[in-house]
DNA sequence: TTCAATTCTTGAAACGATTCATTCTCGACG
DNA sequence: CGTCGAGAATGAATCGTTTCAAGAATTGAA
C-alpha cells in the first residue's frame, strides 16, 4: 500500500542505502544519482515513515509540552515562543492541555514517554514531581515552565511570582485601598501560592491593611465571574476595596460580574488588578491593570534549556532562569 | 538503555509474544502469568515504544489538526471539542498552527503524513486543495473545518458564513447605519470571502447603503487596531457609521483604536460588530456584538466525521455538516 | 601499467512491538 | 486407555528506515 524506500530503490535502480543517503546525506551521493532517486521519489509519491525512522533513531524529533490551560492566552503565547525555538532546530512541539487536572497531565506524560519525545516542558499541576523525576532519570530532559522546584533536579524558567504578587498588592495599597481580597485557586498551584505570598508580604508591610481570601476551583473566567457575583451580592460595607486576581482570566470574570450586574464603580469602589497581562486585558470593559510576564520569551528559553540539556547528556548542570515581572497600570486601578 | 519487551519477557520468564499479549489482549493470558508479567513491567519501568508499535500497525493513534491561528480563542475552542471526541476513542490530537501561512500549513501536512496520522482536520489557508487531495488519496481521511469545498472530495463541517455576514450587516442597517465598512483580509481566506459576500447581499437589499472595504493582512488584534487608527484619523464625515469586522480579534483591535485614541462614541457614531463570539467579546471595553458559531461542536463533529470515514474506508460517502450562525447583540451595536 | 587514494554504492543488520501459525498441557469424554 | 479440544505459551517473521563495514569504480601519480 504505502511506498517504501525499497520501492524507490527499485524504481531508481539503486540500493536502499543510497535512497536513505539521498534523504539524509545528499552530499555523499553523486549528483546524477541524487537526481534519479529524487525523480523516483516524486514519481511514486514516497513519504518517509516517521515511525520507522524514530524506531531506528531511538528518539523522536518532537518536544512535548504540557500547559495548565490552552484557553489562557498566556500559555498559548508561551507555546508560541517554544514552538519558534523548537523550529529553529527542526523540532516539532506537541502541545498537551492538562486543564489543571493531575489525571490529564499524567496521560500526556505517558504519551510523551511512549513517543520517546526529545524532551518535556511542563507547568506541573501539583507539588509531587517524582513521576517527572523518573522520566528525567530515563534520559528525557524535563524543564519546568513558570515554576521553580528542587533546583538540582530540574532546569526551570520562571517568573518571580512572589515579586509579582507583591507588586500588584503594593500598587493597590498605594492607590489608597485598605481591604484587599485575593481571588484565586486551587492553592495546590504554585503560581497561586506564590502570588498570594507576595500579596501577604505587601500587606504585612502596610499597617491597617487587611487581606481576605476568596478561593476558586480554577483560574478561569467563569470562576472569576462567580467570585465577582459573590462580591457584588454583599453589602457595600463588607466588600473589599481592592481585588487582586491570580490571573487575568479570573480578573476579567470578576470585572464582568461587577461591571455588568452591579453599580460598583471601578476603580473607585473596587480597584482590580490581574496577572499575566494577556492581550485582551487592555481591551476589557475597564482596561485591566496587570502584572506582565514575558510569555513568548519564557517558552523560547525553556526549549533552549531543554535542548542544551539534551545535548549535554547526563552530568548536566541544571540551569534556572528567572524573569522579573512588571507592573502595568491601566484604568482598573487608576481612575485618571 | 531503554527497557524492551525482550527484557520484560526474560525477567518474567515468558516469551515476548506473551508480554505483548498481556499488553494488548490480557484476556488471552492466564491470570497468574499476567500478574507475573505486570510485576516485571513495574519492576523494570518498561514503557512501550510507540514508534515500534506504529511501525507494525502501519498507522498512528493520532489525529492531526491545522488551524489558522492558535491565538484565536475560536480555534482553541474548536480544538478542545475535537480533542474531546478524539479522546473518546483513545486518539490524541496533534495541533498545528499555520498562522495563515501556506508554508507552515505545508510543513504540518508533511509532518502529519510522515507520522502516518489517522486523519487530518484542517482549515486551509488557500484555495488550492490538490495537496490535500493527494494525502486523502493515499488513505488518510481529511475533513475541512469551517470551510466547505468540492463536496464530493472532502467531508466538511462548517458554518454558513454568508448567512453570518448577512446577519451582521443587516443588523447594522437595522440600527440605522448607512455607510458600512467591512474590515478583513486576506481575501484568500474563504471565511473572509463568504462573510463579505453576506455583507454585500445585505447591502444590496437596502437602497442607499454603501459598503466600503478596509483590507487587513491577517485576522489579528494588531491588524484591527491599525484599521481602527486609520478610521479614527479620518475626518468625521468620511468615516463609516457601521463597521463589520471579519472576526472578533479584528473587531477588538478596531474597538481599542476607536475607543482609546479617539472621542468616537460606540455605537452612536460608529456601531461595531465582530464574528465568532469569542469569550472575551462580552468583556470588551464596549461589549461586542458578534456572530456566534458553535466552536466546540464544530471540532467534535469534525473528528466524528473523520473517524467514520476512516472506519468506512474507500467508498465513503462524504458528509457535510453546516451549522447556522447566530446573531448576538451587545452594546457595540445597540446603545440601549 | 600498477598502486594508492578517493568517491560511490551496496546490502545485511539493527531498532522494538505485534502477529500468527505452531507446539504444548491438561482434562474430559467415549 | 486413547483421543480430542480448549486454553496457554512460543518464537520467527514482519513493519520501513538508517547505519556501517565492505566492495566497486574512478582518478591521478609514479
- In tens, the pLDDT along A56-94 reads 999 999 999 999 999 899 999 999 999 999 999 999 999
Residues on chain B touching A54 (C-beta within 8 angstroms):
51
* CB of A24 within 7 Å of some strand D atom: yes
Nucleotides of chain D in contact with protein CB (under 7 A) are: 7-21
Nearest CA in chain A to B44: A138
Q: A206: buried, middle or exposed (CB in 10 Å: 19+, 13-18, 0-12)?
A: middle
Closest-lying nucleotide for A32 based on CA to C1': C8
Locate B292 and state its grid cell.
Answer: 456566534
Contact B49 A282 (CB under 8 A): no
Closest-lying nucleotide for A7 based on CA to C1': D16
Rounded CA gap, B63 and B93, in Å? Answer: 5
Estimate in Å the CA A61 to C1' D21 gap, whole number.
28
Instruction: Give residue B151's pLDDT.
Output: 80
Locate A324 and state its grid cell.
Answer: 522579573
Instruction: Give residue B313's pLDDT.
Output: 73
Output B232 or A283, whichever has higher pLDDT.
Answer: B232
The closest of B155, B93, B102 to B126, measured between CA atoms, is: B102
Instruction: Give residue B316's pLDDT.
Output: 79
- CATH of region B58-159+295-323, choose from 3.40.50.2300, 3.30.720.200, 3.30.70.260, 3.40.50.10320: 3.40.50.2300
Dihedral of the CA atoms A186, A191, A197, A201 (nearest 10)?
Answer: -140
Locate B260 and state its grid cell.
Answer: 482609546
Instruction: Give residue B138's pLDDT.
Output: 87
* CB of B70 within 7 Å of some strand C atom: no
Instruction: Give residue A336's pLDDT.
Output: 58
Instruction: Give residue B201's pLDDT.
Output: 98
pLDDT digits (tens, 9 = 90+) for A202-219: 999 999 999 999 999 999
What stretch(es) of chain A map to CATH 3.40.50.2300?
Answer: 58-159+295-323, 161-292+328-334
- Shortest alpha-carbon distance between residue B48 and chain A (Å): 5
Nearest CA in chain B to A60: B51
Estimate in Å the CA B105 to C1' C10 gap, whole number.
38
Instruction: Give residue A101's pLDDT.
Output: 92
pLDDT of A19 over the 90 cut: yes
Neighbours of B309 (CB within 10 A): 22
Which numeric CATH code is attached to B161-292+328-334?
3.40.50.2300
Rounded CA gap, B84 and A126, in Å? Answer: 23
Angstrom CA distances, B61 to A59, A179, B86, B137, B154, stand at 18, 53, 10, 19, 21
Residues on chain A touching B83 (C-beta within 8 angstroms):
97
Angstrom CA distances, A263 to A268, A289, B171, stand at 11, 20, 29
Estimate in Å the CA A239 to C1' D5 gap, whole number.
80
Contact B71 A76 (CB under 8 A): yes
Neighbours of B170 (CB within 10 A): 18
Q: Report the range out of A27-36, A165-174, B123-132 with the highest average pLDDT.
A: A165-174
Q: B216: buried, middle or exposed (CB in 10 Å: 19+, 13-18, 0-12)?
A: buried
Handedness of CA B214, B218, B220, B221 (dihedral sign): negative
Which among A49, A73, A282 has the least Cβ separation from residue B71?
A73
Instruction: Give residue B260's pLDDT.
Output: 76
Q: Are A282 and A288 in contact (CB under 8 A)?
A: yes
Contact B50 A116 (CB under 8 A): yes
Residues on chain A touching B95 (C-beta within 8 angstroms):
95
Estimate in Å the CA B5 to C1' C11 gap, whole number.
28
* CB of B46 within 7 Å of some strand C atom: yes
Helices A102-114 & A130-137 angle (0-180, nearest 10): 10
Nucleotides of chain C in contact with protein CB (under 7 A) are: 7-21
Could you give the 3-state DSSP secondary structure of residue A123?
coil
pLDDT digits (tens, 9 = 90+) for A214-268: 999 999 999 999 999 999 999 999 999 999 999 999 999 999 899 877 789 999 9
Q: Where are the alpha helices (DSSP H) in B138-247?
A: 161-174, 190-205, 221-232
* CB of B21 within 7 Å of some strand D atom: yes
Mean pLDDT of A118-141: 92
Instruction: Give residue B218's pLDDT.
Output: 94
What percentage of chain A reaches a pLDDT higher than 70?
99
* CB of A6 within 7 Å of some strand C atom: no
Residues on chain B touching A47 (C-beta within 8 angstroms):
113-114, 138
For nucleotide D12, the protein residue with its alpha carbon nearest to C1' is: B17
Q: What is the pTM of this model?
A: 0.90
Instruction: Give residue B56's pLDDT.
Output: 95
Instruction: Give residue B1's pLDDT.
Output: 61
Q: Are B227 and B250 in contact (CB under 8 A)?
A: yes
Count helices and strands (H / E) in chain A. 12, 12
Helix (H) or strand (E) holding B186: none
Residues on chain B touching A73 (C-beta within 8 angstroms):
71, 73
Could you give the 3-state DSSP secondary structure of residue A157?
strand
> pLDDT tens, position by position, for chain B (336 residues)?
689 999 999 999 999 999 999 999 999 999 999 999 999 999 999 999 999 999 999 999 999 999 999 989 999 999 999 999 999 999 999 999 998 899 999 999 999 999 999 999 999 998 889 999 999 988 899 999 998 887 889 999 999 999 999 999 999 999 999 999 999 999 999 999 999 999 999 999 999 999 999 999 999 998 999 999 999 999 999 999 999 999 999 999 999 899 877 789 999 999 999 999 998 888 888 889 999 999 999 999 999 999 999 988 767 789 999 999 999 999 999 975
Rounded CA gap, A41 and A239, in Å? Answer: 71
Nearest CA in chain A to B91: A111
Could you give the 3-state DSSP secondary structure of residue B233?
coil
Contact B50 A114 (CB under 8 A): yes
Locate A271 and state its grid cell.
Answer: 480597584
Contact A50 B284 (CB under 8 A): no
Amino acid at each position: 500500500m504505502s511506498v517504501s524506500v525499497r520501492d524507490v530503490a527499485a524504481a531508481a535502480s539503486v540500493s536502499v542505502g543510497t535512497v536513505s543517503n539521498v534523504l539524509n546525506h545528499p552530499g555523499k551521493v553523486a549528483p546524477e544519482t541524487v537526481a534519479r532517486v529524487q525523480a523516483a521519489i516524486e514519481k511514486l509519491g514516497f513519504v518517509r515513515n516517521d515511525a520507522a525512522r524514530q524506531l531506528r533513531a531511538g528518539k523522536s524529533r518532537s518536544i512535548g509540552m504540557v500547559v495548565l490551560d490552552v484557553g489562557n492566552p498566556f500559555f498559548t503565547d508561551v507555546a508560541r515562543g517554544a514552538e519558534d525555538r523548537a523550529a529553529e532546530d527542526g523540532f516539532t512541539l506537541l502541545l498537551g492541555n492538562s486543564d489543571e487536572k493531575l489525571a490529564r497531565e499524567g496521560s500526556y506524560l505517558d504519551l510523551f514517554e511512549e513517543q520517546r519525545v526529545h524532551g518535556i516542558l511542563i507547568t506541573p499541576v501539583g507539588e509531587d514531581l517524582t513521576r517527572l523525576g523518573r522520566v528525567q532519570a530515563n534520559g528525557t530532559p524535563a524543564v519546568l515552565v513558570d515554576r521553580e522546584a528542587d533546583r538540582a533536579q530540574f532546569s526551570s524558567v520562571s517568573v518571580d511570582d512572589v515579586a509579582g504578587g507583591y507588586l500588584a498588592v503594593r500598587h493597590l495599597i498605594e492607590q489608597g485601598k485598605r481591604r484587599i481580597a485575593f481571588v484565586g485557586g486551587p492553592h495546590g498551584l504554585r503560581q497561586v501560592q506564590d502570588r498570594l505570598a507576595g500579596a501577604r508580604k505587601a500587606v504585612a508591610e502596610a499597617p491597617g491593611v487587611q487581606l481576605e481570601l476568596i478561593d476558586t476551583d480554577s483560574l478561569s473566567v467563569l470562576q472569576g465571574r462567580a467570585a465577582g457575583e459573590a462580591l457584588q451580592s454583599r453589602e457595600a460595607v463588607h466588600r473589599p476595596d481592592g481585588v487582586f486576581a491570580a490571573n487575568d482570566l479570573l480578573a476579567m470574570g470578576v470585572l464582568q460580574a461587577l461591571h455588568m450586574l452591579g453599580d460598583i464603580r471601578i476603580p473607585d469602589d473596587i480597584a482590580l488588578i490581574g496577572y499575566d497581562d494577556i492581550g485582551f486585558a487592555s481591551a476589557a470593559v475597564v482596561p485591566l491593570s496587570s502584572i506582565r510576564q514575558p510569555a513568548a520569551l519564557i517558552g523560547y528559553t525553556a526549549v533552549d534549556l531543554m535542548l542544551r540539556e539534551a545535548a549535554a547528556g547526563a552530568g548536566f548542570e541544571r540551569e534556572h532562569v528567572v524573569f522579573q515581572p512588571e507592573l502595568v497600570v491601566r484604568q482598573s486601578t487608576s481612575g485618571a
